[in-house]
Structure 1
Amino acid sequence: MTKTTMEIETSAELLENDILPKCREIHTNPDAQTLTAHKTPKALKTPNAQKSPAQWAYERIIMYIQNFEAQLDNDHEVGLGLAGGNTGVIKIEGLGYYDPDIVTYYGIDNSGARTQLIQHVSQLNVTLVASPKHSDQPEPTRIGFQLATALDNDADVTT
């Protein structure tokens, strides 16, 4: 006989759990790596009511980048394709936000020019792209891991 227990939440716990981040993904490939397969950094466990839209978007983008990079081979890095513009793809070298509503991406475009995209959270529309790493690099750069580690440590990764 299996013993079951019932947990009762206080009204405060119910309210907090209602505003904590939720994520759901469905894929046609049963082997697809989902965002929820990764350990959630400490910063993402904070109720979103305590965050600006910019900070909230920034933290979730980091998780998507990290998950995308986990699926790449050693010859590719994450690039950022921007919808609705002719910027093309940039190799992501940094990500930041400016409260209350700006997210910014730092990187290098296909021609090697330094690039910074400043985007309002209401216009957030990003495509992650597998970009070949530079041939002189022994290993691809994995910025998603660095950013997620900083989120877990409550470090300011925007500086």
Structure 2
Amino acid sequence: MNDSIQTTAEAAENEVLPRQVEAHAKGCGENGERQLPESVTRRPIKQKSAAEWAYERLILYIQNFEEQLDNEHEVAMGFAGNETGVLRIEGLGFFDPDIVTFYGTDEMGGRMQLIQHVSQLNVALRALPVPREDVEPRRIGFELAAELEQAD
């Protein structure tokens, strides 16, 4: 239990909504603060596990990345420091209190799942060509964001 006493200003300051601020080189993206969706700010951060909070922010990053892709590419995830290759992201989840999971396929179409502790989270989003020309690119970030809106 936390017995610390806070002034009204301190309490209000501690309950401030999370922010997302980005800065890019000229012509390489939008600068400034983004308005976060209500689905992310509905519950205070203090009521979320580290896994849930990481999951929600990853969805926003994936969605933002996908907004910049053309119709010939879709989002994938690269791995640093090993020969695992890339994961074409097809799903994302979390396991409270501290695990985030990525689901998808590798470059050869084999099923793949990455299970990662939030303290080790390090995601490199990559654009991969859509595997077949007759298929629309999957926009998993928008699908996941829609699920966030429906969740309570």
TM-score range, shorter chain: 0.7 to 0.9
Residue 123 of structure 1: how far off its partner (Å): 0.5
Residue 145 of structure 1: how far off its partner (Å): 0.3
Does the 8 A contact of 1:65 with 1:144 survive in 2? yes
TM-score by length of 1: 0.81
Q: Which 5+ residue runs of structure 1 have no aligned equivalent?
A: 1-9
Residue 136 of structure 1: how far off its partner (Å): 4.5
Query: 1:15 matched to which residue of 2?
Result: 14
The one-letter code sitting in structure 2 at the alignment partner of 1:101 is D
Residue 111 of structure 1: how far off its partner (Å): 1.2
2:75 maps to 1:72: no
Does the 8 A contact of 2:23 with 2:30 survive in 1? no
Q: Which 5+ residue runs of structure 2 have no aligned equivalent?
A: 1-7
Question: Counterparts of 1:74-113 in structure 2 under 5 Å?
Answer: 74-113=71-110
Residue 56 of structure 1: how far off its partner (Å): 0.6
Query: 2:38 matched to which residue of 1?
Result: 42
What percentage of residue pairs aligned between the two structures are identical? 54
SS of 1:24's partner is strand
Does the 8 A contact of 2:19 with 2:33 survive in 1? no
Query: 1:58 matched to which residue of 2?
Result: 55
Q: In 1, Cα distance between the equivalents of 2:32 and 2:81? A: 25
Q: Which runs of 4+ in 1 moved over 2 A?
A: 10-15, 33-37, 39-43
Residue 34 of structure 1: how far off its partner (Å): 5.8
Residue 80 of structure 1: how far off its partner (Å): 0.6
TM-score by length of 2: 0.85
Q: Quote the RMSD (CA, aligned, Å).
A: 1.9
Q: In 2, Cα distance between the equivalents of 1:49 and 1:81? A: 31
The one-letter code sitting in structure 2 at the alignment partner of 1:79 is A
Query: 2:144 matched to which residue of 1?
Result: 147
The one-letter code sitting in structure 2 at the alignment partner of 1:32 is G
Q: In 1, Cα distance between the equivalents of 2:23 and 2:33? A: 11
